Structure 1
């Protein structure tokens, strides 16, 4: 036991020393201009250790010195020094063969005012120990080999450089853009999904247009589907972490198809309102075209596919491709919120809590399980630094940083928000809106949950600014939305109905077109009875008996030659006779289901 305790104590001591020896590093900039005139100066990213020497925060206070290209040497011995040294120069040397301390000590002894170490590999902090830090008084920084080639290609060999490190702002303005896009998508998607779901309950027919019929399909999420979905997410994330360069193109292809579908779904309602191109495809026997879709809908399909293909081709154009990616991403999120439906608050709670744990595990726990010590979620979302393809996953909203900072130039030029941080709370917002409509609560659940989402997103941004590292947004969004929805249901004393979704079985409010039909002054000629049965007093016989089936008005026929169907009206029941229940007649319950009608 004593031996085991000693081994455990030794391991703890080593871990403590490793944590204490971690190198404090920062990102900075090297400003490059040509000595003979030419193009405007440009900033390049550098990684430096402030424990060697601090860099000024303002470019105007930084010394503009001559850059000496000494990359043919690694500067590991006095023999590698030039004959006249590096007087008032910043030498640029190759990385390798010796420590950073040996390189910078030789450079400082020969009169250098700084040192740039060019690295063909991943940039690492130039570390040392306290004694070495006290001895060295010039800054030392790492520059990538790619940036070195760009410097000499753009400015030639005679250049001057200045090393500086501007302060990082607490919050970038691009967060405002991401906030508006995320909250707007959740609000619009939740409102659209709820209104559309209730509207379908009044529909008595289905349109015969293939694309339009597809829009009416909704998938209800079950607990089994939730478990399968989470397992698939975990598996895909791990596979992307280990086989990123192979699977990233699969994800890009899936995004192109899904975003084109989402864009079509969002634009189709507006295109159908256009007064032109209403003609249909001629009669044919093709698999899809036999439905005879309208020409304008086919043009919309081609347009959506073209937009998706343009993004796929120019996806790495950082100047403008992010705008197209965000537009396609928002369309995809709206389409998903409209198609996927959580039937109960119980299902919402299960899904959000499971993904809450999933997000925390892959952001905060996985750094202790990986060899590199990096979070699997952050590594996959931002793209591995050692990726050969340099591709980025498109399943995020991205906005470039709007301020001049080293992070915008070096580590994270874009601020990101994953689609899951929009879709998962958005499904709860959609459920709240549907429940609002069913119980006629003046959208109180919908508004409260949307505001809670916005507050949770603000808390996420604050945590990101304070910790300066990637955050699991669901860690803040899930408690805000779930607790708020629960509190509103408890306050309104509707927690039971809200939890089980039983509010959806109540009588639905009459839509405007149904009220207009009921108020029509001219009833059908074939029937003298009112449009809806009225409750009879208890113990009183109906005024009229049910007429024979032959005297009931016939149903209108469906027109197959125009490619569209004519809405069919169900036969009206005379007063006192209960209509036969059907699976689609949810908006017209029988007399026994109406309040106040007693048998």
Structure 2
């Protein structure tokens, strides 16, 4: 074990930026999920699918995740280009989803005229929305060409926010079931998979780079500028920061190593944060901004969960430094987020409400076609 003074490394730019980014993403994902749910309820717009997990689905997520992990471990080189193409399409959609509320706000603020100009996938697009879609596509193409870590992070964050907004937890009971199962899942695949598969499956999959289909096509056609196209890509299933952060930003400086955090280590806690933020909001519906509501029974659950996430993440990074080995982040994040929410809700005699849930169930399968 490393000496304790090495924990001072957490104050360096790379780990500090990683922690702050992860905290911002988890909170932002929860807040976007709340606003998206309110939009769907207000507009009765079911044109975009949303899923509220039940017990069976929650139990299946770790099983299917394990199956997918093994497929990636054994077959990744064969399917990496297909995965890259699929990820690119999903990234365009997620980035559009994240940016569209800001575009709508700007339109309303300035009273911009924005006529409908096209229709695609049973959805009408206005002129500004069309430009936004082109912009999002351009960001993804820039990532495919350059493979830059900043673009990778941008796409990964958008995927996390979109996932949390569209996949919901109905109550703490289902949430606890999911988190405990993923707690065991993370521990097994990080600490024990090497005994069964000869390698650390989680780390191997997380550090693999995918073949770039654009490079493959350009190479087969002998197109000019081939050397400018990244041959391998980090898929945006994690956020990464160069350990020499300044060297990673300034062109021409080579970055040897990256710090990384999987999207699951942000998305899964974000689902809990979205649940308690929704509960906080239902208790104080009279306020426009749920962050400004003084709770009648003390601080709001979102702050306990968010503080617990920050503590758990710092603990996970610190454990990695001291043991000099990869750590399953959910080993620290699940107790530090779920624990305070359950204990405090029990002390406030609100655990029953949180455990069973009182969120209105939006019928995800109902769809209406826009005309």
TM-score by length of 2: 0.77
1:493 aligns to what SS in structure 2? coil
Contact 1:322–1:398 (CA under 8 A) maintained in structure 2 = yes
Displacement of 1:457: 0.4
Q: Deviations over 1:29-58 (max 9, x none)?
A: xxxxxxxxxxxxxxxxxxxxxxxxxxxxxx
Q: Deviations over 1:319-347 (max 9, x none)?
A: xx100111111111111111111001011
Match of 1:359 in 2: 186
Contact 1:197–1:434 (CA under 8 A) maintained in structure 2 = no
Q: Would you say 1:458 and 2:314 are equivalent positions?
A: yes
Q: Would you say 1:329 and 2:156 are equivalent positions?
A: yes
Match of 2:352 in 1: 496
Match of 1:379 in 2: 204
Looking at structure 1, the residues matched to 351 and 311 of structure 2 have their Cα atoms a distance apart, in angstroms, of 23
Say if 1:496 and 1:313 are closer, same or farther in 2 by CA, change over 3 A.
same
Q: Would you say 1:432 and 2:268 are equivalent positions?
A: no
Larger radius of gyration: 1
1:293 aligns to what SS in structure 2? strand
Q: Which has the higher helix share?
A: 2
> For 1:388-403, what aligned pairs fall within 5 Å after superposition?
391-402=233-244
Contact 1:264–1:300 (CA under 8 A) maintained in structure 2 = yes
Say if 1:324 and 1:392 are closer, same or farther in 2 by CA, change over 3 A.
closer
Name which of 47, 51, 74 aligns with 1:242. Answer: 74
> For 1:404-443, what aligned pairs fall within 5 Å after superposition?
413-440=257-284, 442=295
Match of 1:190 in 2: 30
Contact 2:308–2:336 (CA under 8 A) maintained in structure 1 = yes
Looking at structure 1, the residues matched to 136 and 254 of structure 2 have their Cα atoms a distance apart, in angstroms, of 34
2:112 aligns to what SS in structure 1? coil
> For 1:161-560, what aligned pairs fall within 5 Å after superposition?
170-171=9-10, 172-198=12-38, 200-201=40-41, 203=42, 205-206=43-44, 214-215=47-48, 217-272=49-104, 273-274=106-107, 275-276=111-112, 278-281=114-117, 288=121, 292-315=124-147, 321-371=148-198, 374-383=199-208, 391-402=233-244, 413-440=257-284, 442=295, 444-502=300-358, 504=359
Q: Deviations over 1:2-32 (max 9, x none)?
A: xxxxxxxxxxxxxxxxxxxxxxxxxxxxxxx
> For 1:543-582, what aligned pairs fall within 5 Å after superposition?
none
- Structure having greater relative contact order (Cα 8 Å, sep ≥ 6): 2
2:175 aligns to what SS in structure 1? helix
Displacement of 1:198: 4.2
Q: Deviations over 1:155-204 (max 9, x none)?
A: xxxxxxxxxxxx99844530111111110011111122124424544x2x
Looking at structure 2, the residues matched to 425 and 356 of structure 1 have their Cα atoms a distance apart, in angstroms, of 11
Looking at structure 1, the residues matched to 8 and 246 of structure 2 have their Cα atoms a distance apart, in angstroms, of 9
Say if 1:268 and 1:287 are closer, same or farther in 2 by CA, change over 3 A.
closer
Match of 1:113 in 2: none
Match of 2:228 in 1: none
Contact 2:59–2:177 (CA under 8 A) maintained in structure 1 = no
Displacement of 1:249: 2.3
1:230 aligns to what SS in structure 2? helix
Q: What is the root-mean-square deviation in Å for CA atoms of aligned residues?
A: 2.9
Looking at structure 2, the residues matched to 456 and 197 of structure 1 have their Cα atoms a distance apart, in angstroms, of 28
Flag structure 2 segments of 5+ consecutive residues without an equivalent: 1-5, 210-230, 248-252, 285-293, 361-369
- The number of aligned residues is 315
2:301 aligns to what SS in structure 1? helix
Contact 1:179–1:457 (CA under 8 A) maintained in structure 2 = yes
Looking at structure 1, the residues matched to 103 and 92 of structure 2 have their Cα atoms a distance apart, in angstroms, of 15
Say if 1:396 and 1:183 are closer, same or farther in 2 by CA, change over 3 A.
same
Say if 1:177 and 1:237 are closer, same or farther in 2 by CA, change over 3 A.
same
Looking at structure 2, the residues matched to 348 and 362 of structure 1 have their Cα atoms a distance apart, in angstroms, of 21
Looking at structure 1, the residues matched to 189 and 124 of structure 2 have their Cα atoms a distance apart, in angstroms, of 48
Say if 1:288 and 1:369 are closer, same or farther in 2 by CA, change over 3 A.
closer
Looking at structure 2, the residues matched to 179 and 169 of structure 1 have their Cα atoms a distance apart, in angstroms, of 14
Contact 2:170–2:357 (CA under 8 A) maintained in structure 1 = yes
Looking at structure 2, the residues matched to 392 and 248 of structure 1 have their Cα atoms a distance apart, in angstroms, of 11
Displacement of 1:253: 2.1
Looking at structure 2, the residues matched to 168 and 434 of structure 1 have their Cα atoms a distance apart, in angstroms, of 36
Q: Deviations over 1:126-157 (max 9, x none)?
A: xxxxxxxxxxxxxxxxxxxxxxxxxxxxxxxx
Displacement of 1:411: 11
Flag structure 1 segments of 5+ consecutive residues without an equivalent: 1-166, 208-212, 316-320, 506-562, 565-599
Match of 1:111 in 2: none
| Segment drifting more, 445-454 vs 269-278 | 269-278
TM-score by length of 1: 0.49
2:117 aligns to what SS in structure 1? coil
